[in-house]
Amino acid sequence: MLATLLPFEILAMTASFMTQRQRFTCTTVCKSWSKAFQHSLWYSIEIVSEEKVVAILNPPITQENAYKNNGNRVRDLTLKSSLLLTNEQLSQLQSYFQKLLIFRAGFGSLDPDVLNTTSNWKNWSSLVELKMAIMCMDKNEPEDKLFELLVLLPNLKRLDFTEYCTKDTHYYTWETLEDIHCVLPKLESLSLDIRLISTPLDNIKMMINISPASRLRFLELRRHIMNFGWLYYISLKYPNIESILSSPKLGVRMPDLSVSDNETMMLLKNNTHVLSHLNKVDITHDIASRDSFQLLCVIYKDLFKSVSNLKCNVEVSGDLLENPVTVGVELMNSFPASLESLHIEITSPGCLESYKLPAFQIFPHLKYLRINIFNSTVNIDKILDSFPSLTHLHMKGEFITLSSPYARTEKLHGLRNLQLQDAIADSVIFKYISYRCRDLVVMLLYDLDIVEKNSTKAYKVYMDMSYTHFQSLLFNQVRFFVTTETGSFDEDSPTNLFVVERLVRFPQYNNPNLREIPEFYKRIPGPDGTMIWAHFYHDKEDIYKPRKMSILSYKDGQAIKKSFASNIIVPENPETVHSRRKRYSGGLVLQRFWRSDIPKGCARMRCGYVRLYYIDRVCVNIEAKEI
C-alpha cells in the first residue's frame, strides 16, 4: 500500500529515523517495497555498544541472523569510540559486510593490536573511505604495519588516520606521504594526525623525481607546523590541491632555525609551483628571522594566488621583534587581493611595547575578517577602508581606536556583525561605527576594557550608537574606565554602573541615508525610550573571584539619576567611614552598592534599537525594564 502511494525518496528518508528493530518490522510487513528501499534500510549501521555487537555477531539460536543475511546491503559502518572490538569480532564483521564502502572507527573502538592482524581486511577491498583512530603503533616498524593494511585497500579515495602516542616514540617524514600515494593511487582526500617532523630547507634537494598525485584535492596534517620544506613538497606533489589544513598541537611549537645555502634558497624561490586550484588554506608557521619571514612572504605570493579562504597563524621571534611594525603589513600584503575570508593571528612569546599598525592593501572582496596582531594599536577606520565589502569583523589587539578624531565617515560601510575581544577600546569608536555602519545588527564584546579620557560628567564613559538598530547586543566581562591625559587608568577602579538606552521600540527608523540624528529621536516621549541599569560588584570576602552583576529595579535607577542630578559627594574611601549606610535622594537605601560606586559615575550606551540584550551571560528583557 505505502509503496504505491509514497515516493521511494520519502520512504528512504523515513527509514533513516528508524531503529534497526523497526527496520526489521518494515522489511517483514511491507513485502511490496522495492529492492532499492530494502537496500536503503540496510545502507548504514552504527555500533554504539557491546550489546549491539552481541546482537549482530551472536544472536539467539532461535532467531535468524538478519545482519548476516543482509550484510551485502550494508555500505556504511561506524564504530563509536571506546567500544573496544577484538580482532576476532572485527574479522567476523568483515566477513558479514563484504561490500562495505565507508568504515569509521573512533578512538578505542578497535583492539590496539589491530594492525598486526590484517588477514580479513582484503574482504573490504571495496572501501572508498576509511577513518580510523588507534593507539601508538610498533615503535620499531610503525610504517610497515600501516602499509600492510593500506595495500589491501587500493580503492580508497578518502583516508583519515590518527595515531595517539603519549611519548615521542617515532616520527614520519614527507617520504611517508610518498609511500601512501604509491599504494593508494585513487586518493582524493588525505587527513593525517601523526607525528610528522619538519623538513629542513636543505632537504629539498632530495626531493627529486616526485610523481604528482593529481587526484588529491584535500590535505589535512594535524599536529603539524608547515615549514618551507613541506610547502615546497606540497607544491610539487599536489598540483590540483584545493584545500590545505595544518594545525599544530599546543605546546610543541618550535621555530625552524636551519640556515640554507644560496643554491637551496634559489631552488625554493624558482621552483615553487603555483597551486592554481587552491581555494582554502589553514596554515601555521614559526618564524625566527627576518630572512625567513621575507622568504615566507615570497612563497605566499606564489602559492596562494587563487586562495579565497585563508587562516594563517604565525609566531614570530628573534630579530623580527626589533621592528614589529612591518611584520603584519608585509604578511598581509603577501596575501591575494581576491580573498573572501581571512583569519590572521600574529603572536610572539616576547613582551613588546604597543605600536601603531600601518594601513594594509585593499581587499575588495573580503567579507569575513578575524584579526589579532600582537601588541598593536589598530585603527578601526583604516580596517573598514581596507576591507570595503566586509560584513563580519572579529578583532583582538592591544588597543582599538580611530586614526584621527576627525576620521572620515562620508562613505558608509556594510558591516553587519562586529566582535571585539581581549583588547582596550577607545569609546569614540562606537559613535564612528554607528554612523558609518548603518547595517550593523550584531555586536559582541568579550573581555574588553572601554576607556574614555578625562570625563567629568556623570556618564563617565559614553558610547553613542544612536544610528544602530541591534538584533543582538552582548557584553561579557566588559569593564569601563576613565583615563588620564596620558591614557593610563587604574585597573582596580572601574566604573561599576552601566546603562543601555534604547531610543525606539521598533527598528522602523533605520534609514541608511540619514546624515544626522533625526528630530523625532530627540523628542521621543518617555514611554518609548527604555533604559536598563546594571551594577557590577565583587564579594567583599573575596574580591579576586569573578565579578557579579545585578539588573537594577526602576526605583534603583531613578535614585541613581537623582543622585547624579544633585551631585551627591560620597567619601572616596568608604572603609574609613562609619559602617552606617548612606541614604541617597528619595530616602532609598541602595543596599547593593558600595558607596564608592556612585561618585565614579556610570557608563552609558545609547542605541536606536535593541531586540536581544545579553550582559555577563544574562539575557535581559528590555520590554519588562523601563526606567
Is the Cβ–Cβ distance between 533 and 497 less than 8 Å? yes
State the sign of the Cα–Cα–Cα–Cα dihedral 585, 587, 591, 596. Answer: positive
Q: Please check whether the domain covering 43-197 is classified as CATH 3.80.10.
A: yes
The pLDDT-based confidence of 287 (bands split at 50, 70, 90) is confident
Tell me the whole-structure pTM to 2 decimals: 0.82
Q: What is the pLDDT of residue 5?
A: 44
- Map grid coordinates 573598514 to a residue: 384
The DSSP output letter for 509 is: -
**At residue 517, does pLDDT exceed 70?**
no
CB atoms within 10 A of CB 576: 7
Domain ranges across the chain:
43-197, 498-624
Please provide the average confidence, as pLDDT, over all residues in the chain. 80
Closest by CA to 203, choosing from 236, 167, 168, 228, is 228
Choice between 514 and 58, residue whose per-residue pLDDT is larger? 58
Q: What is the pLDDT of residue 136?
A: 77
**Neighbouring C-alpha atoms within 13 Å toward the C-beta of 551:** 17
Please, what's the largest Cα pairwise distance for the chain?
A: 90
- Distance between CA 116 and CA 105 in Å, rounded? 16
Q: What is the pLDDT of residue 586?
A: 38
Q: What is the pLDDT of residue 293?
A: 87
Closest by CA to 198, choosing from 298, 289, 287, is 287
- Distance between CA 234 and CA 299 in Å, rounded? 12
**Neighbouring C-alpha atoms within 13 Å toward the C-beta of 222:** 11
Q: What is the pLDDT of residue 42?
A: 81
Tell me what percent of the residues of the chain surpass a pLDDT of 90: 32
- Distance between CA 123 and CA 165 in Å, rounded? 29
Give the CA distances from residue 130 to residues 101, 175, 350, in Å, rounded to whole numbers and listed in that order.
9, 21, 43
Q: What is the pLDDT of residue 197?
A: 83
Mean pLDDT, to the nearest integer, of 290-312? 88
Choice between 290 and 582, residue whose per-residue pLDDT is larger? 290
The pLDDT-based confidence of 508 (bands split at 50, 70, 90) is low
- Distance between CA 228 and CA 200 in Å, rounded? 8
Q: Per residue in 66-85, pLDDT tens? A: 888 888 889 999 999 888 88
Q: Per residue in 442-497, pLDDT tens? A: 999 999 999 988 766 667 899 999 989 999 999 999 999 988 766 678 887 888 88
Q: What are phi and psi of 337, to 5 degrees?
A: -70, -10
The pLDDT-based confidence of 2 (bands split at 50, 70, 90) is very low
**At residue 261, does pLDDT exceed 70?**
no
**At residue 131, does pLDDT exceed 80?**
yes
- In a 3-state reduction of DSSP, which class is residue 508? coil
Q: Per residue in 302-336, pLDDT tens? A: 888 889 999 999 888 888 888 888 888 899 999 99
Is the Cβ–Cβ distance between 600 and 460 less than 8 Å? yes
Q: Which amino acid is at 398?
A: E
**At residue 56, does pLDDT exceed 60?**
yes
Choice between 228 and 30, residue whose per-residue pLDDT is larger? 228
**At residue 613, does pLDDT exceed 80?**
yes
Choice between 263 and 498, residue whose per-residue pLDDT is larger? 498
Cell of 595: 558607596
Residues 6+ away with beta carbon under 8 Å from 572: 596, 599
**At residue 627, does pLDDT exceed 70?**
no
- Distance between CA 71 and CA 414 in Å, rounded? 55
Choice between 415 and 260, residue whose per-residue pLDDT is larger? 415
